[in-house]
Structure formats: C-alpha cells, structure tokens
Structure 1
Amino acid sequence: MDHGVELKGCVCRIKNCAVELFSMEEDLVIDDEDSWDLVGQDLRLKATFLYIDLSRVISCYESEEHKNSLSVLANKFFYSMDELGDAVKSRSVPLTQVCYNDTADALREVVAALVPSLQLGPHLEE
C-alpha cells in the first residue's frame, strides 16, 4: 500500500473521530441504562481507531523529537479517554462531563500538534 495514501486515511479518520468526540458533549446528559452502554461502546470504538491511526502517523515522523512530543500528547489523551470510560461506567453525569472536558482538551492538543506537520507531506519531514 502507498505510504502516503495510508497516512491520508489515518489523518482523515483522526479528524473524523475528533469532530465526533467534540460533538458528544450533549450526549453525555444520560438518563437511561441503554444510553450509558451505547456511549461507552462508542468511546471504546473511537479510542481504538485513534490509537491505531495516531500510532501510524507518529511512526511516519522522521524527527525523534517530534515523535516523542506527539507521543506524550497522545498518551495524555488516551489516559483521559480511559478516565472518561471509567466515568461512563460509573454512570455519574457530573464526573463524565468533567472527564469529557479533560479528554476534549487533550485531543485538541494532539490535533494542534498534528496539523502543521501534516501539511509537510507523507514523510513528515521536519
């Protein structure tokens, strides 16, 4: 598979998952058991796609410094996603909203770190 095409697919999924996560805030005012389960499943699915795609994108960077800094941001984001997943399992709306805000902030940092480099092309040269 062409490395550039794979990278573009990863970036597209990262952007789509980010947009979907940023728009979930209203969905977190949950009042029934089935909705809690659906939100939890949706979060796990998004986390899986983001983990795979971010790993692929990070591996394309030639600069170890950029790889490391983006890895730190990605790890912070995934830690927040785990906390959000735990909050959803606890079925606490206030805790879920706090964890959601932390997760959205961490994802904004990841996306902001990705944007400048993604414009450089498939090999992400620094």
Structure 2
Amino acid sequence: MDVRSRGSVNRIKKCAFDLLSIGDMSDDENSWDLMGKDLRLKSMFLYCDFSQVISNAPEEQKKTLSDLANRLFHYMEELDHAVKIRSIPLTQNRYNEAAHVLQEVMAIML
C-alpha cells in the first residue's frame, strides 16, 4: 500500500471513529445544524478517501470495498435526511444502522 492510500485509510478510520463517537442528540437548533454540517463534511472526506483506497486496492478487494462504501454512503444519506427533518427517533434509528456499517469499516481498514 502506498503512502497516499495509507493516509486515506487513516482518515477513513478517523472519520468512522468520530462518527461512532457521536453522543445523544439534543433538540436545539445549534445541535441539529452542527450535526448536519459534520455529517456532510465527514461524508465528503470518506467519499474521497474510499475512492482513493478502492482505486489502489488489488482487483480481488475492489468489489468488497465498493460494496462496503456503497452501503456506508446509503446509510449516511439516510442519517443526513433524518437530521435535516430534525426527528430524534428517526435520527437515532438511522444512526444505529450507519453505526453497524461504520464498525465494519473500522474492522476492514486494518
């Protein structure tokens, strides 16, 4: 693995760790805005870094990594939507779904 890909793997793990560390939601305007901005920013980093890792991965790993990335971004979009509509129950549900995939990401990015 080249230096660039290692940097991408480290950023993926950092973003996944940060997202897994999100605490309880409070129902105030600043919390919703901050969470939404943080999700979108981390999604952008994850997208760029996953693209880098997949591009440089051996051919036999590309499909697995692509499938994992696609599932992650699906759940991240669902979570972002829940945050935009400011529903605590839906946000918690979508967060739990995304957290399962984030744990898979952490496990595969060793």
1:90 to 85, 99, 107: 85
Cα distance in 2, alignment partners of residues 8 and 69 from structure 1: 18
The offset of 1:110, in angstroms, is 2.4
CA offsets 1:55-102 (integer angstroms, 9 cap, x no match): 100111122x31011101110010000000000011011110010011
Does the 8 Å CA contact 1:10/1:53 hold for their aligned counterparts?
yes
Q: State, as a whole percentage, how many aligned pairs show the same letter.
A: 53
Listed as ranges, the matches of 1:1-126 within 5 Å are 4-24=2-22, 26=23, 28-63=24-59, 65-115=60-110
How many residues were matched structurally? 110
Amino acid aligned to 2:85:
S
Identify unmatched segments of 5+ residues in structure 1: 116-126
TM-score normalised by structure 2 residue count: 0.92
Whether the 8 Å CA contact 1:70–1:110 is kept in 2: the answer is no
> Which blocks of at least 5 consecutive residues in structure 2 are unaligned?
none
After TM superposition, the runs of 4+ consecutive aligned structure 1 residues lying more than 3 A away are none
1:20 and 1:95 map into 2 onto residues whose CA distance is 20
C-alpha distance in structure 1 between counterparts of 2:20 and 2:55, whole Å: 25
State the Cα distance separating 1:113 from its structure 2 match. Answer: 2.6
Normalising to structure 1: TM-score of the pair?
0.81
Say what the alpha-carbon RMSD is for the aligned residues.
Answer: 1.4
